[in-house]
Amino acid sequence: MTKRVIVTGGSGLAGKWVVEDLVKHGYEVLNLDRVPMPQRTARTLIADITDAGQVFNAIASTTAPVEFADDLEPKPIDAIVHFAAIPRIMLTTDNEVYRINVMSTYNILDAASKLGVRKVIVASSETTYGVVFAHRHRDPAYFPLDEDYPVDPMDSYATSKVVNEVTAKAFQARTGSDIYCFRIGNVLDPDDYAKFSTWLKDPALRKRIAWSYIDGRDLANACRLAIETDGLGFEIMNVAADDVSSDQPTQVLLDRYYPGVPVKKALGEFETLLSNEKLKRLLGWRQQHYWRDEVKRFNP
């Protein structure tokens, strides 16, 4: 049976991997984005998802790949992966970051709930932990950062993501459907591994993100597992690699850059500070792309 998935933001850095992985696994995918997808892995419907009318119309539309397909009758959507957003501060004004991220997510969740879409994956962010875009340096309350952490950001982007998680929880309570929010770490494309030659020399460059990373292909895999794992209700899960993006052991990084921050568990030598234990436990996710292997393409 064809599984129909709408991906928002599929023309972007992370979303393109989600589209590619789903298409590769036999899903019929429609990309909703303001701009076309250069790779054209799936059809893009140009839409501004801050406009509720466009969102309701898009979700009620056909996902057929071409206009001359045999059947253009709209069919039910099995899942939405909602990635479209302004992905950080300082790209546009703070109020626009907040408005676009909050209203687009409200519209997607509202339309999904009213049009009967029973599964939505929402891109949240590690910035919700309040360290990444803090106005001035700020230590977290503890490491590793896990989903029980009392999130308390101060910037417009991370605040929009916290609001989106609250909105997602509210819609899930109405419908009893599955809504999973992914607190995603720093997303890397294959070419980004070339930057490790700079990053390894100065660990301070990645201090604010606590040396997190996630390969876009591993993130896409987490999205597909989420689509294929039913019945969890509302859940928040960190999506991060098993290891820190540094050749320094985790404890060495902590002693140097975060002295005095309580550490809640015994850590492995290079263990991530953005816990992925829940993602593994609930979805059975396993990392496939480790930076130590990926950088070999650049330093043979």
Ligand X SMILES: NC(=O)c1ccc[n+]([C@@H]2O[C@H](COP(=O)([O-])OP(=O)(O)OC[C@H]3O[C@@H](n4cnc5c(N)ncnc54)[C@H](O)[C@@H]3O)[C@@H](O)[C@H]2O)c1
Contacting positions for ligand X (CB under 6 A): 9, 11-15, 33-35, 47-50, 83-85, 87, 100, 104, 123, 125, 184, 186-187
Residue with smaller CB distance to ligand X, 105 or 250: 105
Beta bridge partners of 125: 184
Burial code (b: 16+ CB inside 10 Å, e: under 16) for 111-123 equals bbbeeebbbbbbb
As measured in angstroms, the least distance from the Cβ of 216 to ligand X is 8
Residue with smaller CB distance to ligand X, 57 or 255: 57
How many CA atoms lie less than 13 Å away from 266 in the CB half-sphere?
A: 0
Residue showing the smallest CB distance to ligand X in the complex? 12
As measured in angstroms, the least distance from the Cβ of 14 to ligand X is 4
Residue with smaller CB distance to ligand X, 9 or 140: 9
Residue with smaller CB distance to ligand X, 123 or 244: 123
As measured in angstroms, the least distance from the Cβ of 37 to ligand X is 8
As measured in angstroms, the least distance from the Cβ of 207 to ligand X is 16
Residue with smaller CB distance to ligand X, 69 or 194: 194
As measured in angstroms, the least distance from the Cβ of 24 to ligand X is 19
As measured in angstroms, the least distance from the Cβ of 50 to ligand X is 5
Contacts of residue 208, defined as CB under 8 A and 6 or more positions apart, other chains included, come to: 131, 132, 133, 134
Residue with smaller CB distance to ligand X, 83 or 291: 83
